[in-house]
Structure 1
Amino acid sequence: MIKTGEPDWNDLRYFLAAARAGTLSGAARALGVRHTTISRRLTALEGALGVSLVVRRPHGIEITPLGRKLLPLGDDLERAMQALTALVRSGKNRVRLALPSGFSSLFGQSMAAFHKTHANINLELTSGSRPVDLQRGEADLAVRVGVVGDDSLIAQKLCVAGWSIYASQRYLDRHPMPIDPRQLAGHEIIGFHASLAGVPGAKWIEAHGAGATTVFRVAEMTEMLAAALSGAGLAVMPCMLAESEPRMLRLAPDILGSHPVSLVYRREIGAEAPVRAVIRFVASVIKDHAVLISGEAR
């Protein structure tokens, strides 16, 4: 038999099925195809390899000696392809969601329900103040607080996050109420690292913090909360984070600043079914907590 070209390794599936069944009709039933398809694919594989793999008998097929040597290699290749397929499928069903600091607590109670209804989706959450680079694949989706400046990304607005001024009772024992948030002179305040200069809290302190003493500068809102709880100073911070902590006291009913909360993702992945399921999940969770995030309810 003369070799006529490179083998189509998909034909190997038909050879393995025929060898296991012992007949073309048995292989056809196993693969859900016509027995003529099995015969044609076997002939194609033999033609590509330039060797005979089976001998067709009236009551079945006989594997040639060379065919028997090929069987273990075919089994190994089949297992490798199955593992490759499973890996690709699991990768497609993995969705990585990046959250700003403080947002992960909103998703905790809902994660079990999501996994129950979407058992095939592996949803991974990460949290931090540094915006992930979606274009470089650091995450698939990101909840982003503030204006999204990258026009190549889809930004779905979810709600508005409000900021106000807070202190712990430890601080108020040293500086009794009332405290005018527009006159912070004489107070200790918790400031912001330069990387957070654009957030509403940093802008408020810049406008109204003349005469105040900055005792800390933080790069994470969770660090600001910890410092404020210790009584170190006043904190202008997200209402969502502060009002989830009963030991923090809001000093003014007003919203002192706000910015949008958006779900951001690359345009090309937006149509993928697992991603769409996570988008709906994120939108639902944020909607359920929109009042807390806005800080409007008093």
Structure 2
Amino acid sequence: MQKRSLEWDHLQTLAAVVRAGNKSAAARELGLTHATVGRRLRDLEAALGTALFARSEAGLELTATGRQALAAATAMEGAAGALARQLQAGDGELRGRVRVTCTEGFGTDLLPRHLPALHASHPGLELEILIDSRTLSLTRRRADLAIRLARPQEEALVTRRLAELPYALCCAPALADAAARALAAGAPLPLCRFEASLGELPESRWLDEHLPQGRPVLLSNNALTLLQACAAGAGVALLPVYLARRHGLALLETPAAPRRSAWLAYPEEYREVPRFRAVADWLIATFAAERAALAGAAGP
């Protein structure tokens, strides 16, 4: 192999692959594609002039060079982490504005409830929550961090899955029995749903497939409008279980209900910027604290 210069990203990728057990899991950890992980490993082998892995009866195992490279990568990760902690400790009171873009549910319900924890740890931070149904560009700096309901495809982003969100058909409690009977009988249901421009969303596609006989009584481009109308008894809506429960809605038996994942994303160069890192850590902690509710632990 023709030797090339060693790059830290390639060593970090090796450590992630060994730690995660395979390339796909490492790609998810690093926020990269499977192809990028494979390319980085090949580039690292070219730089070292030998293979990193060898086949055995147990599968792929590190070669002697691979073990040396892993040891170096582990040491570098430890040193980088220590330096980051020292720098953050040296700037004990983080300051500045951080813009987070997210959906209505997260921006009006979830994040505000946990905001005191962020300000208690970092009183100098100013959080700006941008609620927008559009996907605001991170690489063009229209927002600093994003919470999205689909894995971002922009290049040079750090991504992390925060939670899996089950959906269910919901209605006001007073309508639950009648709605359940209509659903079982295949009768038309009054629907509060997204309007036509949002027809490609998983929620819209599910309704088209499973409730084609549904009769729209409200069309909107805003999920909270649908939720409020549903809570008022206007009709049935397909909503995230966590939002439905928080607003006291009844959950109907929903066959093959869709699930969506909430993803955190931010530009790679923000990874070690203290104020962005602090807000990213707070978002991760917020979703961890709400994990049972977001996962709909008790089911519909």
Class of the TM-score when normalised by the shorter of the 2 chains: 0.5 to 0.7
Correspondence 1:107-126 to 2 at 5 A: 107-126=111-130
Whether the 8 Å contact between 2:98 and 2:144 is mirrored in structure 1 is: yes
Go from structure 1 to structure 2 and tell me whether the alpha carbon gap of 1:255 and 1:119 turns closer, same or farther (over 3 Å shift): farther
Measure, in 2, the Cα distance between the counterparts of 1:106 and 1:176: 28
Question: SS where residue 180 of structure 1 aligns?
Answer: helix
If each structure's helix is expressed as a fraction of its own residues, which one has the higher value?
2
Question: SS where residue 136 of structure 1 aligns?
Answer: coil
Q: CA deviation at 1:278?
A: 0.7
Q: CA deviation at 1:164?
A: 0.6
Measure, in 2, the Cα distance between the counterparts of 1:193 and 1:148: 23
Go from structure 1 to structure 2 and tell me whether the alpha carbon gap of 1:165 and 1:176 turns closer, same or farther (over 3 Å shift): closer
**Equivalent residue number for residue 267 of structure 1:** 268
**Equivalent residue number for residue 228 of structure 2:** 226
Whether the 8 Å contact between 1:141 and 1:264 is mirrored in structure 2 is: yes
Q: CA deviation at 1:184?
A: 4.8
Q: CA deviation at 1:253?
A: 6.7
Measure, in 1, the Cα distance between the counterparts of 2:285 and 2:186: 38
Measure, in 1, the Cα distance between the counterparts of 2:208 and 2:94: 46
Q: Are 1:207 and 2:209 counterparts? A: yes
Q: TM-score, normalised by structure 2?
A: 0.62
Partner AA of 2:226 in structure 1: M
Give me the CA root mean square deviation.
2.4
Whether the 8 Å contact between 1:224 and 1:235 is mirrored in structure 2 is: yes
Whether the 8 Å contact between 1:185 and 1:210 is mirrored in structure 2 is: no
**Equivalent residue number for residue 281 of structure 1:** 282
Partner AA of 1:95 in structure 2: V
Measure, in 1, the Cα distance between the counterparts of 2:232 and 2:207: 20
Of 94, 97, 107, the match for 1:94: 97
Question: SS where residue 177 of structure 1 aligns?
Answer: helix
What residue ranges of structure 1 are gaps of 5+ in the alignment? Answer: 1-89
Partner AA of 2:124 in structure 1: N
Whether the 8 Å contact between 1:184 and 1:210 is mirrored in structure 2 is: no
**Equivalent residue number for residue 60 of structure 2:** none
Segments of 4+ moved more than 3 angstroms: 169-173, 176-181
Partner AA of 2:180 in structure 1: M
**Equivalent residue number for residue 192 of structure 2:** 190
Partner AA of 1:235 in structure 2: A
What residue ranges of structure 2 are gaps of 5+ in the alignment? Answer: 1-92
Correspondence 1:1-298 to 2 at 5 A: 93-104=96-107, 105-172=109-176, 175=178, 177-180=180-183, 184-246=186-248, 248-252=249-253, 256-298=257-299
Go from structure 1 to structure 2 and tell me whether the alpha carbon gap of 1:169 and 1:148 turns closer, same or farther (over 3 Å shift): same
Whether the 8 Å contact between 2:95 and 2:124 is mirrored in structure 1 is: no
Partner AA of 1:271 in structure 2: E
Q: What is the CA deviation profile of residues 88-140 of structure 1, one whole-angstrom value per residue up to 9, with x for unaligned ones?
A: xx997221111211113222232122112112222222223222222222210
Q: TM-score, normalised by structure 1?
A: 0.63
Q: What is the CA deviation profile of residues 205-248 of structure 1, one whole-angstrom value per residue up to 9, with x for unaligned ones?
A: 111122221122121110110111222211111112111101x1
**Rg larger in 1 or in 2?**
1
Percent same amino acid at aligned positions? Answer: 24
Q: What is the CA deviation profile of residues 38-94 of structure 1, one whole-angstrom value per residue up to 9, with x for unaligned ones?
A: xxxxxxxxxxxxxxxxxxxxxxxxxxxxxxxxxxxxxxxxxxxxxxxxxxxx99722
Question: SS where residue 100 of structure 2 aligns?
Answer: strand
Count how many residue pairs are aligned between Structure 1 and Structure 2.
Answer: 206
Whether the 8 Å contact between 1:96 and 1:123 is mirrored in structure 2 is: yes
Measure, in 2, the Cα distance between the counterparts of 1:121 and 1:172: 44
Measure, in 1, the Cα distance between the counterparts of 2:171 and 2:187: 15
Q: CA deviation at 1:172?
A: 4.0
Q: What is the CA deviation profile of residues 3-60 of structure 1, one whole-angstrom value per residue up to 9, with x for unaligned ones?
A: xxxxxxxxxxxxxxxxxxxxxxxxxxxxxxxxxxxxxxxxxxxxxxxxxxxxxxxxxx
Partner AA of 2:258 in structure 1: G
Whether the 8 Å contact between 2:206 and 2:258 is mirrored in structure 1 is: yes
